[in-house]
Structure 1
Amino acid sequence: MKRLLVVLLSLATLTGLAPAAVAAPPCTSTLDCTVAEINAMPMADRLDFVRDMQSGPAAALGASDRWRNIEGVITFFRDRGLGASDTWVSYVDAGIVEGIQRGIAIALGWSGDTGGNPGSAKWASYLTRLSTGQLTTRAAHDRAWSEAEQASTEYGDELAKSHGVPPTAVERRFYQFSEMYRWALRNRPFALDLLAVYGPLIHPGLAPARVPFYDWFTDVGESAPSYRGSEMAYGFAELNPITGVFGMAGLFLAYMKNLFEEYQTQTGP
């Protein structure tokens, strides 16, 4: 009976009666997908695309794990059912993914086409510097990475608005969290000083553990912190509890207690 079912299913697939797997668009292999093509991809397909770029062409540039945090955010969008095509989340994410793939192609010499995305050239510069050993310190690496993602993200935000899709109030507050994350990447010494001064007021264990905690939170090679950070930030954004905070430094400190408690949960005492 089981053998008969297998035969019947095989015949159904061959005759078009059973749904076939949807193949990835050819541009994912040539790294020249337009932002419109990426916008049309479901989040699950974008996650596969980012993973394939890292394990494939980006590995030749020493970047086999440089967008794991992006994986975490896309996984969160997938799990929450966010980012359907033509939404604000989709356009912003498409701008980021397009910038990464075109940056890889430019750095490898496959293409010189930026697609009009300002992040493409910045990602190419980041990858070139990474592969030639110019980003050896954490501060230098994180600054270059964040500047590339900032340009791609802003492009995606403007793209959404140009299509008549501004962010909702919740999405705007969630966007502020992502801005704070990139700010933290660009301002490592200053942020660590803030944690040294204000850490004891935020959490008794924060100040003495500020360096490993900060390294965990800003590690682009890990997906868990960005996934949990996205969950927490989106929950806050829906409730809008963070008020009376001014500037990125203030927003950074406002999130630290919850982020540090998550760090303790993830890494143990």
Structure 2
Amino acid sequence: MQRFGWLVVLALLAGLVAPTPASAAARAPDRCAAELDCTAAEFDRMTADERLEFLRALQRGPAALLGAPDRWRNIEGVIAFFRDRGLAAPGTWVSHVDAAILEGIERGVALALGRSPDGFGNPGSARWAAYLTRLHRGELTARDAHDRAWSEAEQASTEHGVAIAEEVHGLRPTAVERRFFLFSEFYRWTLRNRPVAQDLLLFYGVLAHPELAVRRVPFLDWFTDVRESTPSYKGSEIAYAYAGLDPISGVIGTVELLLVYLPELFREFRGVR
């Protein structure tokens, strides 16, 4: 009887240390892309290379069925920048925000494909699903309509990620991360406000570079093309450099962003076009 009691105790102890879903081995990125049910917490535990692997597998696979085999290449550029700079380590403010963006995209694909009605509480999920549905139907052929829908979806996922980082995990961005985040907000604003951005480039572009006002439309097309990773990677490099210098003490408006951000970015554009 005493021996039986010890066996019970050992069994209970084994149960206490047995792997739980949270501590079990992480799912491979390609499995997340196939199953479309990895959570933001799982994405947070991934390295930057694993996140890139997931996003590329998602675009090659399920997203391609919706006519979106290349609609998050710009996010690839940002993640590659994080990787090369050693940013977005698991558990950081940046990582949680990025993880929520990936979750929103993933669940948006699942919703649009009819795999599941669950958005995992991510407001971006429904937005991405609506974007993908409209894209698949051929309703987003106009550039301004496409970019607005894309940006609104990413904005919703981003804001959810900020809430997770700050309200759930009690994290706050560093001063540099906060200023870098302002540049990402500016990018999404530009996608949502293409006509206004063109007007700003007409009036202020000449201050950044003599040719910019004339070539504002092809430059804006390049800068906001979600199917390209180079503009977002190079833009992240420039933005992070200026964020580190804090050129305007964190107080920034749209015009100031244009004047600070554009000269180097336009030189990058001229180098490839």
TM-score category (smaller protein) = 0.7 to 0.9
**Letter matched to residue 149 of structure 1:** E
- Tell me by how many angstroms 1:243 deviates: 4.8
| Structure-2 residue corresponding to 1:198 | 204
5 Å-filtered alignment, 1:52-67, equals 52-67=57-72
| Structure 1 residue corresponding to 2:193, chosen from 187, 190, 193 | 187
Measure the CA separation in 1 of the matches of 2:104 and 2:69.
Answer: 16
| Structure-2 residue corresponding to 1:101 | 106
Matched, 1:251 2:257: yes
- Tell me by how many angstroms 1:254 deviates: 2.9
| Structure-1 residue corresponding to 2:3 | none
Matched, 1:88 2:81: no
Question: Residues 24-63 of structure 1: CA distance to partner in whole angstroms, max 9, x if unpaired?
Answer: 0643321010111111111100000000000100001110
* Conservation of the 8 A alpha-carbon contact between 1:180 and 1:252: no
- Tell me by how many angstroms 1:252 deviates: 3.1
| Structure-1 residue corresponding to 2:52 | 47
Measure the CA separation in 2 of the matches of 1:155 and 1:229.
Answer: 23
**Letter matched to residue 99 of structure 1:** G
**Letter matched to residue 123 of structure 1:** W
Give 3-state SS (helix, strand or coil) of 1:156's partner.
Answer: helix
Measure the CA separation in 1 of the matches of 2:252 and 2:82.
Answer: 28
* Conservation of the 8 A alpha-carbon contact between 1:185 and 1:218: yes
Measure the CA separation in 1 of the matches of 2:250 and 2:171.
Answer: 28
Question: Residues 66-92 of structure 1: CA distance to partner in whole angstroms, max 9, x if unpaired?
Answer: 000000000011111111110011101
- Tell me by how many angstroms 1:245 deviates: 5.9
5 Å-filtered alignment, 1:10-25, equals 24=28
- Say how many residue pairs are matched: 246
- Tell me by how many angstroms 1:200 deviates: 1.9
* Sequence identity (%): 64
- Tell me by how many angstroms 1:160 deviates: 0.6
> Under a length normalisation based on structure 1, what TM-score does the superposition of the two structures give?
0.88
- Tell me by how many angstroms 1:110 deviates: 0.5
Give 3-state SS (helix, strand or coil) of 1:164's partner.
Answer: coil
Structure (1 or 2) with the larger CA radius of gyration: 2
Measure the CA separation in 2 of the matches of 1:181 and 1:220.
Answer: 11
Matched, 1:34 2:34: no
| Structure-1 residue corresponding to 2:214 | 208
Question: Residues 191-223 of structure 1: CA distance to partner in whole angstroms, max 9, x if unpaired?
Answer: 101111222222111011100001000000000
Measure the CA separation in 2 of the matches of 1:218 and 1:36.
Answer: 29
- Tell me by how many angstroms 1:259 deviates: 1.4
| Structure-2 residue corresponding to 1:153 | 158
> Where does the alignment leave 5 or more consecutive residues of structure 2 unmatched?
1-25
Matched, 1:118 2:123: yes
Give 3-state SS (helix, strand or coil) of 1:207's partner.
Answer: coil
Measure the CA separation in 1 of the matches of 2:61 and 2:196.
Answer: 36
* Conservation of the 8 A alpha-carbon contact between 2:33 and 2:55: no
Measure the CA separation in 1 of the matches of 2:250 and 2:234.
Answer: 24
Task: Assess, with a 3 A threshold, how the Cα gap between structure 1 residues 23 and 123 changes in structure 2: closer, same or farther.
Answer: closer
> Under a length normalisation based on structure 2, what TM-score does the superposition of the two structures give?
0.87
**Letter matched to residue 206 of structure 1:** L
**RMSD, matched Cα:** 1.5
Measure the CA separation in 1 of the matches of 2:120 and 2:49.
Answer: 23
* Conservation of the 8 A alpha-carbon contact between 2:77 and 2:232: yes
- Tell me by how many angstroms 1:182 deviates: 0.3
- Tell me by how many angstroms 1:250 deviates: 3.6
Matched, 1:261 2:267: yes
Task: Assess, with a 3 A threshold, how the Cα gap between structure 1 residues 28 and 58 changes in structure 2: closer, same or farther.
Answer: closer
Measure the CA separation in 1 of the matches of 2:221 and 2:259.
Answer: 16
